[in-house]
A and B are shown apart, each in its own frame.
Chain A
Amino acid sequence: MQIIIVGGGKVGSTLAEQLSKEGNDITVIDRRYEVVQNLLNEFDVMGIVGNGSSHKVQIEAGIENADLLIAVTGSDELNLLCCLIAKKAGNCQTIARVRNPEYNEEMRFIKEELGLAMAINPELASAVEMARVLRFPTAIKIETFAKGKVEVLKFKIGKGSVLNNIQVSQIATKLKCDVLVCAVEREDDVIIPTGNTILRENDIISIVASPKHSSQFFKRINIVTNQVRNTMIAGGGEIAYYLTKQLLNMGIEVKIIEKDKARCEELSELLPKASIILGDASSQQVLMEEGLANMDSFVTLTNMDEENILLSLFARRVSNMKVITKISSIAFNDVINHLDLDTIIYPKYVTSEYIMGYVRAMKNSIGSNVENMYRLVENKVEALEFVIREKAPVLNKTLEQLDLKENLLIGCINRNGEIITPKGQDVLKLGDTVVVVTTNTGLKDISDILRD
């Protein structure tokens, strides 16, 4: 697919990397020469230095033949203008990043009038993801497939857990519940388990199950799954606002610590039910005074990644609460994963994943058939949802007959809404959707799961 990305910042470059790896023709437009140069050096993309909302520049980028334009510059107005011009200049779909809450409230009108295919607000999207985690604090990450009928949950095996030293194949027999372990993170490695893999303490495992089975599973392994009762948020930015709004709706008490007085007043106006504290969240005293030790959960949303990490580490020391850390820009994933940080949310990945989801859906109409895709472990493991269509090479075969690639596993089969945890004798039928978990990134079609 021909895709033009305007803006080569954090989200823009993440998108350029992912989309070009999936075989799309990517052209990136950015005003800054160095940014374009760096992207050209790193990824297989074409770059143009210029103003993305200029008609001339868009023509140069090939807007006439483009299928999609994604505007992710720092400015909402510029993004909207890019999309508007692209819509008139070429016959393409447009996606804009719009983060101003004022526009957000009028999103429906803007989308309709400007003909946007999608508008994404990174703060809102991140907040939604955080709220989902707080609703189910045991999990580090939750993704849903098949319109919510299947969940992929990620959590850590704690001390003295029943799962400690258990063989994956024994889970079904010992615990008598229908879940499937689809990925095990152990130190720096990620294993796609077979029946013989033995789980250990401190492993981070991902399971596939229907919501009913997953809650049953968590009960069997003695993990409480109730949503948190209260939350402390460090930093009162946009994400904090969106998150608080949702948490209050869910009946969770929220306490926001923000050091800017004007912002505090603004927040208290917008969120009358939340308690707003004027103070520096990086001060230990302030945190303790506000009762961090007795909180169920703690979300760090300051503008400094380093500060967020330190605050979260501190919170983990104080008590065994649920902690969510926001990391905006620093890379060093390997180091960060070694820290005891619980859930980490990267707004740039959240944003790019939303957009990727749309791009894949668009591609469906032209060949590829990934319905849905999530990264379980950053850049290492993906969970993809495929539909079995006519002429698929796996059609009407039992799973035993399929010569699957290494490090690949079929997590579940959804047959007309019925969720089947796959066994060797199960047959893939027309119209089924399957969730495939794999370390081989970049699968495009169900046939890609087979060995070449």
Chain B
Amino acid sequence: MNYSMIRYMLGLVSCFSAMFMTLPMLVSVIYKEKSGFSFLAVALFSLAVGILTARKKPQNRKMYAREGLVIVALSWIVLSIYGALPFALSGDIPSYVDALFETISGFTTTGASILTDVEALSNTCLFWRSFTHWIGGMGVLVFIMALMPAKDSSSMHIMRAESPGPSVSKLVPQVRNTAMILYLIYFGMTLVEITLLLIGGMPLFDAVTVAFGTAGTGGFAVKNSSIAGYSVFLQGVVAVFMVMFGVNFNVYFVLLRKKPRQAFRSVEFLTYIGIVLGSSLLIAISILPMFPNAFTAFHQAFFQVGSIMTTTGYATADFNTWPALARTILVMLMFVGACAGSTGGGIKVSRVILLLKGIKKELQMVCHPRSVKKVKVDGHVVEHEVIRSVNAFMVLYVVIFVVSLLIVSLDEKDLVTNFTAVAATLNNIGPGLEIVGPTGNFSSFSILSKFVLMFDMLAGRLELFPIMMLFVPATWKRV
């Protein structure tokens, strides 16, 4: 374990945390709000800590997969601890535990809130809440890598630990350029969305924050009614962009290289679009009686499906009141999640594809025990190692889910609430059903449950292993 490298990277993260906070400070200047001072105080504090810890560069810069995982896990925890401080200091969210829950929910792009009245928050805090989505969506360390002149090849370990998906591939040979391209695509798409929202008549502040929430597939809105209060056009724009940010960014990169055929032929992309459209249609049919016309029904179904599947968590309707079929489909979509290499969470479409193909292969093995078969996706053989890690992921996923559910159930809430609360946090969605449904929130959970859910959010965003690594004693041994 290279402790000095971990110290150095965490110091860098502290400095970047201070840098991120300059944006809400600007907002507070515009709206002349006092909460800017708490951001200033926290930024100065984290900058001081960062400079002190990162001042001495480590002699041994060698990192292995282990260091990468630990750095990513600790960075996210450190970042959340800093990020929660301004909420508590400014008094917008008096309890620090609640503030931490809100911040982790923000960075992990979950969008689960403990706030009963969002509109009571100052604009500065609202902006920060949404901005954490944007930073967390593509990844903090990926951001740092895009900016820092890193010569170490070992930074790939960090990228692999932070980017979602069963096997992370680079877009271009150098890690730094890959990180830069990813952020450029991300930034460009966010800008386009803001522009479209402005054209649709949304106020600038709302447009920026809603776009941040969409881009990171987060789901914090600035209105109590989430997105329901905006026009159908605006809702449509948000819905389409949610689905777009749930697509593997590799597809956009290939598109930029002017190879549309190759881009749209990806199995994961086609499956993803298929699931979105198919389940929207099914839900639309089941909720048809509740709405005046088929268009509205489809619009509502599409928005909710896009929101849940990409793990964003915006809502334009209270799907708590929808028929059982519609609600069940939504809960199932929670688990599927978005594409690998997107900003969304969940199990990921590509993993689901691999799991299903793996099952098919195993079934065939039962019939013909001597048969040799390789799983193929997009014409490429998927190595056994990848399948194995996907299976391991699934097992770990179920274990974490069950244990969390057990602890949360101590709160004596109904099963649907508990089940969907864990599902909504572990998959980084936000709203679940019943008490934690689109109109509800997480404030009524006990402190213990809140910590369990915070853990779930971090574990879900970082794809389980980095966070679980922290609990393995072997990780911390020097050798």
Interface residues of B in 279-298 (CB under 8 A from A): none
Q: Does A283 contact B (CB under 8 A)?
A: no
| B147 at interface by CB-CB < 8 Å | no
Q: Is B475 part of the contact surface with A, judged by Cβ < 8 Å?
A: no
Chain B residues closer than 8 Å to A42, beta-carbon distance:
153
Please determine whether B383 and A20 come into contact, CB atoms closer than 8 angstroms.
Answer: no
* Closest CB in chain A relative to B169 CB, distance in Å: 8
Closest B residue to A50 using CB positions: B380
B156 in complex: contacting residue of A26, A44, A442, CB < 8 Å: A44
Closest to A4 in B: B173
Quick one: CB contact mask for B172-198 with A, threshold 8 Å, 1 for yes? 111101000000000000000000000
CB contact between A41 and one of B65, B169, B170 (< 8 Å): that residue? B65
A26 with B65, Cβ < 8 A, contacts A33-B383, A44-B156 known: no
Complex interface residues of chain A between 49 and 74 (CB less than 8 A to chain B): 49
Nearest-neighbor residue (CB-CB) of B152 within chain A: A44
User: A41 contacts B156, CB within 8 Å?
Assistant: yes
In the complex, per-residue mask of B124-159: 1 if CB is within 8 Å of any chain A CB, else 0: 000000000000000000000000000111011100
B173 touches A26 (CB 8 A): yes
What 1/0 mask marks residues of chain A from 23 to 38 whose CB sits below 8 Å from any chain B CB? Answer: 1011100000100010
Cα distance A40–B173 in the bound complex, in angstroms: 10
Residues of A within 8 A of B157 (CB): 41
Q: Are A20 and B153 in contact (CB under 8 A)?
A: yes
Min CB gap A39→B, angstroms: 10
Q: Mark B253-283, 1 if CB is under 8 A from A, else 0.
A: 0000000000000000000000000000000
* CB neighbors of B among A89-144 (8 A): none
CA distance A26 to B175 in the complex (A): 11
With A41-B65, A44-B153 known as contacts, the answer to whether A25 contacts B383 (CB < 8 A) is no
| Per-residue interface assignment for chain A, residues 263 to 295, with 1 indicating a CB less than 8 Å from any chain B CB and 0 otherwise | 000000000000000000000000000000000
Whole-angstrom CA separation of A442 from B153 in the bound complex: 14
Please give, as numbers and ranges, the residues of chain A lying within 8 Å of B380 by CB-CB distance: 49
Structural contact, B156 and A21, CB atoms closer than 8 A: no
Task: Kindly identify, within residues 20 to 65 of chain B, every residue whose CB is under 8 Å from any CB belonging to chain A.
Answer: 64-65
Q: Is the CB of B153 within 8 A of A46?
A: no
Also in contact, A46 and B65, with CB within 8 A (given A20-B153, A33-B383, A40-B156): no
Q: Which of A20, A46, A442 contacts B172 (CB 8 A)?
A: A46
Enumerate chain B residues within 8 angstroms of A25, measured Cβ to Cβ: 172-174, 177
Given A20-B153, A21-B151, answer yes or no on A44-B383 (Cβ-Cβ < 8 Å): no
Residue numbers of B with Cβ under 8 A of A are 64-65, 151-153, 155-157, 169-170, 172-175, 177, 380-381, 383, 385
Q: Given contacts A21-B151, A43-B153, A44-B156, is CB(A27)–CB(B383) below 8 Å? A: no
Contacts of A157 in B (CB 8 A): none
Name 6 interchain pairs, CB-CB below 8 A, sorted by A. Answer: A25-B172, A25-B173, A44-B152, A44-B174, A46-B169, A46-B170
Q: Which residues of A contact B174 (CB under 8 A)?
A: 20, 23, 25, 44
In Å, the complex CA distance between A40 and B154 comes to 9
Complexed CA–CA distance, A442 and B170 (Å)? 24
Bound: A65/B156 CA distance, A: 23
List the 4 closest pairs (A to B, CB-CB), nearest first: A44-B153, A25-B173, A46-B173, A43-B153
Kindly list chain A residues whose C-beta atoms are within 8 Å of the C-beta of B152. 44
For the complex, give the distance between the alpha carbons of A33 and B175 in Å.
20
Whether B173 pairs with A45 at a CB distance below 8 angstroms is yes
**A23–B173 CA distance with the chains assembled, in angstroms:** 10
User: How far does the Cβ of A27 sit from chain B's closest Cβ, in whole Å?
Assistant: 6
Mask, A1-28, CB within 8 Å of B = 1, is 0000000000000000000110101110
Chain B residues lying within 8 Å of A27, measured Cβ to Cβ, are 173
Chain A's closest residue to B174 (CB) is A44
- Chain B residue with minimal CB distance to A37? B385
Docked pose: A27 CA to B152 CA in angstroms: 17
Q: Distance (Å) between the CB of A122 and the closest chain B CB?
A: 25
B155: A residues at CB distance < 8 A: 44
**Identity of the chain B residue whose Cβ is nearest the Cβ of A42 in the assembled complex:** B153
Chain B residues with CB under 8 Å of A33's CB are 383, 385
Q: Say which residue of B64, B169, B173 sits within 8 Å of A20 (CB atoms).
A: B173
For A21, list chain B residues within 8 Å (CB).
151
Shortest CB-to-CB span from A121 to chain B, Å, is: 28
Report B-chain residues with C-beta under 8 Å of the C-beta of A41.
Answer: 64-65, 156-157
Contact in complex: B65, A44 (CB < 8 Å): no
How far is it, in angstroms, between the C-alpha of A27 and the C-alpha of B177 when the chains are bound? 14
Q: In whole angstroms, what is the CA distance A41 to B68 when docked?
A: 11
Report Cα–Cα, A33/B387, bound state, in Å. Answer: 14
Q: Chain A nearest CB: distance from B148 CB in Å?
A: 13
Report chain A residues within 8 Å CB of B153. 20, 42-45
CA distance A332 to B308 in the complex (A): 54
Residues of A within 8 A of B170 (CB): 46
State A37–B170 Cα separation when bound (angstroms).
Answer: 13
Report the bound CA distance from A273 to B258 in whole Å: 63
Inter-chain pairs besides A25-B173, A46-B170, 5 sampled, C-beta below 8 Å: A20-B153, A20-B173, A41-B64, A41-B156, A45-B153
Residue of B at shortest CB range from A65? B257
With a cutoff of 8 Å between Cβ atoms, the chain A residues found around residue B385 in the complex are: 33, 37
Alpha-carbon distance A40/B169, docked complex (angstroms): 10
